[in-house]
């Protein structure tokens, strides 16, 4: 299964998957049948004929998150306007189309030209009305989807204080300190699409190269805490204080797509991923997810994959089998489950055939907003361990392709006894093995140059 992520990247590189159309996205399913998509709402061009619009089933309220975040029930009434993302065939004038949509009460919220989409708000009665469905059944429309709310995938625990630097258990468990003799993530650009980052945090600021905002708030500052925690696991500075990240010299580019309450619409996530693709990020951390698919986000990610970027995402916090969330379950995205310190699957972690690797995700200490430190749990916390590992592999292998990085990541992973394939994918990430820095690898004579760069 974990080879699916490699196969998908290969197909993208070979141009066999059209990354910018729903047809291509539809063919993804075909190229990767083993990747079960249970839990999806069935929209998103998997089964429908190419070019046919996909009208999602009427939904009541927003999806309940697979943990953390805490979606509210306030959307369950139907008085509020309904927001849709409408994706067009390349070349179709979305704005021209919008004038037609205005005739049924549609109001343009924003344009997403990166993925040939617009976000339009409709009065509730118009949103489910026949007239609109007829307009959107045009061949010019690739997909119609709810602009749904995406969940962060974490639980909060206690605040912490340190007199001197500690190496968090997860950073140790994946072999990061051994790997630093070979690579520290230096020069690797890591996009963290999240709640922003505490740009002044003494254990991070040296590595935070930018903190941008795609929410419209005008600031990439983290007023929530999740993004700062994720950033710390990736690249907290190796100094005298606090904690240290997996890739302590990687460059953090915080892309604030979630508000201070940890809320984001999927269209804002699309904007965040667009920023990462257009600004040359090498790897993108996505510690969020939803049970629902999104054609627009798939298209944005596919554009990044086609450029050789690597995307790492949280498997979800449902604690059940066959429950890996989107975008983690999107082929080509590295899906990360979570283990506890005793090497068991974390009780909250989603599992499923889409899981590529597992990483520490329970009681993880890292940086937090306002210069603090906090212990948090969730597949949100496992994901940045893998993102950091990718950064270390990249810095240790100049010129390596994304395919090469993924191969090293998977081959270095250690199968944990007692965990099923659905729970751990290729196994627990071990970045020291992935870069050929682990003691046994050195003794055995490095075959780590076998992957062509
Ligand atoms: Ca530190």
Options 294, 377, 380, 434, the catalytic residue? 380
Q: Is 297 a residue whose pLDDT tops 60? A: yes
| 194 belongs to the catalytic site | yes
Q: How far is the CA of 393 from the centre of ligand 1 (A)?
A: 21
pLDDT band at residue 59 using 50, 70 and 90 as cut-offs: very low
Name the residues around ion ligand 1, CB cutoff 5 A. Answer: 165, 203, 237, 239, 242, 244
Q: How far is the CA of 312 from the centre of ligand 1 (A)?
A: 24
Options 32, 146, 194, 430, the catalytic residue? 194
Pairwise pLDDT comparison (265 vs 7), residue with the higher score: 265
330 touches 303 (CB < 8 A): no
Q: Provide the whole-model pTM.
A: 0.81
Kindly list the structural domains of the chain, giving each domain's residue range(s) and its CATH number in brackets, ordered by start.
Answer: 86-147 (3.30.70), 151-434 (3.40.50.200)
What local confidence, expressed as pLDDT, does residue 44 receive?
A: 30
| 146 belongs to the catalytic site | no
Q: What is the pLDDT of residues 160-195, one digit of tens each?
A: 877 799 999 999 999 999 999 999 999 999 999 999
Around 295, how many Cα atoms within 13 Å sit in the side-chain half-sphere?
A: 39
Q: What is the pLDDT of residues 228-263, one digit of tens each?
A: 999 999 999 999 999 999 999 999 999 999 999 999
Strands (E), 301-402: 310-314, 333-339, 357-360, 364-368, 372-377
The residue written with tokens 């230096």 in the block is 186
């Amino acid at each position: 299964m974990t080879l699916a992520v490699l196969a998908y990247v290969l197909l993208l590189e070979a141009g066999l998957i059209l990354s910018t159309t729903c047809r291509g996205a539809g063919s993804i399913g075909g190229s990767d049948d083993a990747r079960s998509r249970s839990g999806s709402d069935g929209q998103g061009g998997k089964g429908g004929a190419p070019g046919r619009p996909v009208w999602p089933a009427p939904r009541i309220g927003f999806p309940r998150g697979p943990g953390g975040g805490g979606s509210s029930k306030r959307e369950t009434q139907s008085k509020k306007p309904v927001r849709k993302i409408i994706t067009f065939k390349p070349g179709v004038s979305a704005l021209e189309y919008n004038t037609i949509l205005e005739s049924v009460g549609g109001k343009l919220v924003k344009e997403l030209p990166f993925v040939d989409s617009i976000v339009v708000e409709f009065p509730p009665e118009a949103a489910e009305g026949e007239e609109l469905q007829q307009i959107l059944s045009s061949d010019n429309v690739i997909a119609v989807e709810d602009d749904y709310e995406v969940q962060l995938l974490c639980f909060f625990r206690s605040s912490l204080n340190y007199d001197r630097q500690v190496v968090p258990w997860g950073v140790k468990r994946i072999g990061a300190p051994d790997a630093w003799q070979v690579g520290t993530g230096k020069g690797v650009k890591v996009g963290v699409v999240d709640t922003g980052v505490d740009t002044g945090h003494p254990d991070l600021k040296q590595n935070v190269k930018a903190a941008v905002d795609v929410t419209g708030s005008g600031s990439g500052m983290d007023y929530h805490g999740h993004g700062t925690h994720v950033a710390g696991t990736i690249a907290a500075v190796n100094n005298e204080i606090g904690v240290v990240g997996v890739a302590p010299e990687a460059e953090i580019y915080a892309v604030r797509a979630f508000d201070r309450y940890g809320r984001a619409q999927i269209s804002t996530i699309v904007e965040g991923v667009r920023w990462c693709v257009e600004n040359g990020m090498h790897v993108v951390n996505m510690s969020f997810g939803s049970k629902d698919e999104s054609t627009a986000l798939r298209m944005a990610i596919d554009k990044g994959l086609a450029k050789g970027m690597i995307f790492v995402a949280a498997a979800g916090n449902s604690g059940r089998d066959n429950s890996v969330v989107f975008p983690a379950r999107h082929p080509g995205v590295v899906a990360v489950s979570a283990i506890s310190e005793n090497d068991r699957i974390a009780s909250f972690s989603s599992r499923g055939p889409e899981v590529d690797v597992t990483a520490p995700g329970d009681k993880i200490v890292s940086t937090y907003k306002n210069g603090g430190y906090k212990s948090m749990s969730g597949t949100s916390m496992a994901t940045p361990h893998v993102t950091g590992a990718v950064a270390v592999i990249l810095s240790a292998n100049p010129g390596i392709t994304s395919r090469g990085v993924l191969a090293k990541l998977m081959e270095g992973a250690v199968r944990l006894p007692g965990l099923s394939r659905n729970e751990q994918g290729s196994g627990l990430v071990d970045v020291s093995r992935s870069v050929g820095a682990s003691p046994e690898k050195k003794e055995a004579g490095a075959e780590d140059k076998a992957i062509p760069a």
